[in-house]
Amino acid sequence: MGICALPAYADELPQIEIDPPVEQAAPATTITNTTRPRKAKSDVKPDYAPAQDMLLQAMSLIGVKYKWGGATPEAGLDCSGFVRYVFQNSMNIALPHNALGMAQSGASISKDELKPGDLVFFNTLGRTFSHVGIYMGDNRFIHSPRAGKSVEITNFNQSYWTSRFNGARRYDGTGGAPVNMAALLASVPKNAAGTSKGNTALSSKPVCRTVKRKGKKQQICEAPRAARESSSPKAAKGKTYKKSSKTTSKVTKTTKGKSASGKSSKAAPKAKRSAPSSTKKKPSNK
């Protein structure tokens, strides 16, 4: 039976007086036909990307300060360093550490084809592909803007960015179906500021400054900008509150003699002077 199961190699077998039945040719054909579709199915890769994981990694870096040439959250991240760090840690994809190199290595796509995980490029320095960010969907992208700022989410439809848009690129396995933006934003911790424990970009400690108004010293305190942008809507309003310097005002009032304690101290001598009048001896009637 083994000889009959290999009709393709029949010419190499010794001549034996065995007549293989014709009916056995059909099972051989059936086996071949059933195995081929299985191989074809195993070679097909799903057309999606874990953009959700990539964007979660990117949003965990919100608040990390910009630093030209920076490649880690601890040292700071520039625009290409931020994108490179996210791709390396979420997708295990190594990208060059410059926006132009990223634009040259990805597949070009139009603005209408943008999906979460695609890279968007802009002309911010007078030359093409001088800035890069990661598209999130819903006309938003996340990037590390410039010196003095930190990783943030930006509206793609702002005139500044639409007028400087140079194109978009997609890397294999990154452009996927739309993500749930509401769930994505809700899943990011309020104190997200990268992996650096010492990063204070999102510190909730208020920043105070002393001002002098109407001859009185006051402290005006407000939450850091990065903390306001990434916290709840109430905190995002950036309410300021005034903290009067009680010790300063008390000293000032005391020196001017207007404090309550000063008044009581002045009233005491008057009481002493009035006491003798009550103890004066009345003249005798003698």
97 is a catalytic site residue: no
260: enclosing H helix or E strand: helix 260-278
Positive or negative torsion for Cα 257, 258, 261, 265 = positive
CB 137 within 8 A of CB 116: yes
Sign of CA dihedral 90, 93, 99, 105: negative
Q: Which of 4, 79, 97, 221 is catalytic?
A: 79
Catalytic residue among 4, 97, 131, 208: 131
Residue 212 neighbours by CB under 8 Å, 6+ apart: 218
From the centroid of its chain, how far is CA 120? 16
* C-alpha radius of gyration, the chain, whole number: 39
Do residues 222 and 238 lie in contact, with contact meaning Cβ atoms separated by under 8 Å? Answer: yes
| Residues annotated catalytic, as ranges | 79, 131, 143
